[in-house]
Amino acid sequence: MTDRRRVAAIGLLAALVCASACSQELADAAASTTQDEQPSASADLAPAKNASLGAAPAVQERPRGVAGELEQSRTTAIVRAAQRVAPAVVSISVIRTQRVPARTRYERLFMPPLQRSAGFGSGVIVRSDGIVLTNDHVITGADQIRVTLPGGRDFDATVIGSDPVSDIAVLRIVGENLPSAPIGTVEGLMIGEWALAIGNPLGNYASDTKPTVTAGVISAAGRNIVPSSEDASFYFGMIQTDASINPGNSGGPLVNAAGEVIGINASIISRSGGSEGLGFAIPIDRAMRIADDLVRTGEVIRAWVGIEVEPLDADQWGRTHGVRISRVVDGSPGGVAGLEPGDRLLTANGRTLTGPLDFEGVLLDLRAGDRLTLNVEGQNRPVSLETISYPSVTAERVTVLRDIQLISVTPQIQAERDLVSESGALVTAISDRLSEQLGLRENDVILQINRMRVRTADETAQAFEAVRGTGRVAIIFEHDGGRYVREFYWRR
């Protein structure tokens, strides 16, 4: 081997030895690094000595600023309004004794003619001395009335008075430290503003007496409600809301976002029997005025002007504008003001009149001494007159079947007489005395006496018997296609 070849071989051998040594160092270093970084499999799979499979994760505390903002956002105006009124909302339980007619021979032999039944509703304390507002239909015919506060305190209630026309009743409870709800007004009520219905829709079925709260908006104002299959009563100038009002809510308050009572829940329109977004409340201004009359005098002092109105003929679209005066009592405020039968009234106290119910609703909100301003078609200036107290008419010991002859409305009679009502009691004859006192005439149809809807002549006779000598009586009847309300006093 030449010297040149020997030198090249020695260089190549040295390079191979160096490369082998470097590779071993790199492998050892990599193995060492991998062993250091690789987590222990036994440590990863073995459970901790004190670990629990059901342990909940620790709740992290919210940052103080975030917690405050969240709490503030949860406490909305609706929450504050409910907190302000709910303590004064009560549950009302009633016991009634009713005469139940026997339907079979077995019932005549074994069923008692008088049976006890229970009912429930809601109410609201409006004065700290124990004055409670509710609906007349909640307590009508009750032998016992029990009022329960949200905290569970029970009280026996006494009836101060009630008004079947407006469906308002006033109760009194006696106790200490009674809460009362702030009272608002319907003046300035805005369509679309928030509204809360508070009450006790579950009645005795709930395990506690705390009221429930539902929220919605004011859907409309000044609504007139005519009898239906769900409610056989007239209501005038009602507040409409889509806040859920269910059976048992009757008598509870309708509340605005400021936490003020603006109405007393009274009626719903529903095909299912539950809330369908069509609830109605009595304006609180009217309810408080009636309550004040009942507390002070024991009766409602209604305004009277001595005129009766009837609907006008509808246009081609079925709409009417205004009402026509059908009768003016001599010497009455209306007569003194120069109003005459045939005059057409367009507005009353600024309210547009589309039918007789609008006019009745305006009168319902007036007291004796209040002024009534009428816009009469064809006159350049409004007619203003001062209302007086409703004349006290006494109809003592009226025997219905002697002074008034009635027949039940049937489909045949409805067609023959061109009646609007499909049921009721048709007046076929009436004495002059009662005609003047009650405002009824032949061919009128009696539809309701106080809160009792009547569908036949027999039911009407029974209703007259039930209200005999009870004081103020309201009759709702059809006359010439329109519906009217007439009140009179029936003393013993």
Q: How far is CA 360 from CA 31, 183, 234, 348, 350, in A?
A: 101, 25, 11, 10, 14
Of 213, 195, 194, 151, residue with least CA distance to 176: 151
d(CA 228, CA 278): 13
d(CA 316, CA 417): 24
Element (H, E) at 20: helix 3-37
CA-based radius of gyration for the chain: 38
Residue spans of alpha helices (H) in 382-470: 400-403, 411-417, 432-438, 457-467
**Among 167, 231, 343, 365, the one annotated catalytic:** 167
**Among 137, 275, 332, 343, the one annotated catalytic:** 137
Tokens of residue 7, six digits: 């030198």
Would residue 32 show up in a list of annotated catalytic residues for this protein? no
Would residue 250 show up in a list of annotated catalytic residues for this protein? yes
d(CA 41, CA 358): 86
* CB of 456 closer than 8 Å to CB of 425: yes
476: phi then psi, degrees, rounded to nearest 5: -110, 130
Number of Cβ within 10 Å of residue 382's Cβ equals 15
* CB of 250 closer than 8 Å to CB of 121: yes
Tokens of residue 490, six digits: 């029936």
CA atoms within 13 A on the CB side of 49: 0
d(CA 486, CA 284): 23
3-state class (DSSP) for residue 114: strand
d(CA 4, CA 17): 21
**Among 250, 267, 270, 421, the one annotated catalytic:** 250
Tokens of residue 316, six digits: 């081609």
Distance of CA 44 to the CA centre of its chain: 65
Would residue 137 show up in a list of annotated catalytic residues for this protein? yes
Number of Cβ within 10 Å of residue 75's Cβ equals 11
List, by residue number, the catalytic residues: 137, 167, 250
